[in-house]
Every structure is written in C-alpha cells, then in structure tokens.
C-alpha cells in the first residue's frame, strides 16, 4: 500500500499512519522507497502493531509509527513522494497490505 510523504514526515523523518481500527492480528510493517527492492534492500523503517486478538471487539484507532532511516546509504525522499508499506508473508518474503488509513502525518 502506498502512503504519501507529508511535509511533517519529510521534516522530522517520522511517518505516522493512523488506522481506523486496531487490527485483529499483530505484526510488523515495513516502509520502502519505491526505488528499493524489498527482497534485497534494508527498509526505510519498521512499525509494530499490537493487534486486538481473536474475539475482541476493541474499536480503538491505532497508529503505525516509522522512524525512517536517514543514513547516506538509504534512498532520499521528500514531500510528495510515496512510500510502500509491506508486511512479511508466511514464507518470509514481502507482500502488499491493505489498511484502512484515516490519516497520514
């Protein structure tokens, strides 16, 4: 899933993605620059989501917070660019993910 680089993200190197509802499953999300190869390159950042668990009715909205790497070896990004959010599949590879995003900071 693609998310835009906001002015705040470009300025602070922190990407905050708000989701409408805490998902059932926990997991780790990875942010990549479109020019990166997920299978070969280090991601720009990771975010952990602490899911509500099976059977829970929790409706809380939650945030994915990515502290983006800024080393010289990492691809540069700027306001208006898009970043790709991926998760790992069962085989350990990366796959796209669908999220109900309500706000990107």
Partner 1 sequence: MDTVAKLNFRRKKAGLPLIRFDLTRLNPDDIQDLRDAYAAMYEISEIAVGDNRGYQALARGHGYDLDLCHDDNRIFLTWHRSYLYSFEKALNTALQWKRDDDELELTLPFWDWTTQKAATHASNGLPRVVDAPTYENEAGDTVPNPLASAPSLYREISQGLSGDERFTQRFPSSFRDVIPQLRDDVERHMDNPNYMRFQEDFDFGAHGTVHVRVGGLGDSPLPNGIGDMMSIGSAAYDPIFWLHHCQCDKVWFDWQALHPGANVPEFVLDAVVYDGRAGRDLVDAETSLRYIYSEDSVEAAVAATGTTDSAPAGNLSAAANPAKEIQLGTVEGGFVRAQLDFYSLRPPKDSYEIRAYIANPNCTEKTGYKHESFSGRLVLFGHGQCHGAPGHCNPKYYRRDEYDIRSKHPLRHAHTRYTIDMTRGIRRYIGRKKSVKNLKIYLLVVDGTGKAVSPESVQYDGCSLRTFAKK
For partner 1, give the closer residue by CB, 4 or 27. 27
Burial class (CB in 10 A: 0-12, 13-18, 19+), 17: buried
| Minimum CB distance to partner 1, residue 58 (Å) | 4
Q: Are 24 and 58 in contact (CB under 8 A)?
A: no
| Residues in contact with partner 1 by the rule CB under 8 A | 14, 16, 22, 24-28, 47-65, 67
Biggest alpha carbon–alpha carbon distance for the chain: 45
For partner 1, give the closer residue by CB, 78 or 92. 92
What are the phi and psi torsion angles at 7 (to 5°)? -55, -40
For partner 1, give the closer residue by CB, 4 or 63. 63
| Minimum CB distance to partner 1, residue 33 (Å) | 20
């Amino acid at each position: 899933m693609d998310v835009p680089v906001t002015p705040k993200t470009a300025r602070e190197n922190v990407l905050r993605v708000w989701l409408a509802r805490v998902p059932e499953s926990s997991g780790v999300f990875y942010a990549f620059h479109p020019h990166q190869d997920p299978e070969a390159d280090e991601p720009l950042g990771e975010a952990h989501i602490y899911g509500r668990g099976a059977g829970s009715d929790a409706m809380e909205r939650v945030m994915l917070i990515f502290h983006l790497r800024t080393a010289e070896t990492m691809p540069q990004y700027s306001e208006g660019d898009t970043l790709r959010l991926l998760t790992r599949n069962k085989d350990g590879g990366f796959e796209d993910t669908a999220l109900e995003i309500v706000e990107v900071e």
